[in-house]
Amino acid sequence: MKIQPMQDVQVQGLQGKQPQKTEDTFSFTLLSKIEEKDLQQKLHGLMDEITIQGKKLAD
């Protein structure tokens, strides 16, 4: 088996984006797709808890 070195991948345009906006859009899309109200409420609560824990870790 012959293995050749990999080339570096250049990523452009990521510094100007704000992750919070994307995260909010993702959260809204995910929650709107779930039809079962109990499951939707549990998921929303878990997402809030994850956000709170993430903020604590960032501090």
Average pLDDT over residues 46-52: 92
Please report whether residue 10 resides in a domain.
Answer: no
pLDDT higher at 14 or 57: 57
Question: What is the distance between the alpha carbons of residues 26 and 8, in angstroms, rounded to a whole number?
Answer: 30
Please report whether residue 52 resides in a domain.
Answer: yes
Least confident of 5-9, 14-18, 32-36: 14-18
Q: How many domains does the chain have?
A: 1
pLDDT value of position 6: 74
Question: What is the distance between the alpha carbons of residues 38 and 19, in angstroms, rounded to a whole number?
Answer: 28
CA atoms within 13 A on the CB side of 41: 3
| Average pLDDT over all residues of the chain | 74
Please report whether residue 8 resides in a domain.
Answer: no
Indicate whether this model's pTM tops 0.75: no
Selection from 5, 25, 58 nearest residue 33 by Cα: 25
DSSP for 1-30 reads ----PPPPPP--S-TT--HHHHHHHHHHHH
Please report whether residue 48 resides in a domain.
Answer: yes
Please report whether residue 43 resides in a domain.
Answer: yes
Domain that holds residue 28: 22-58
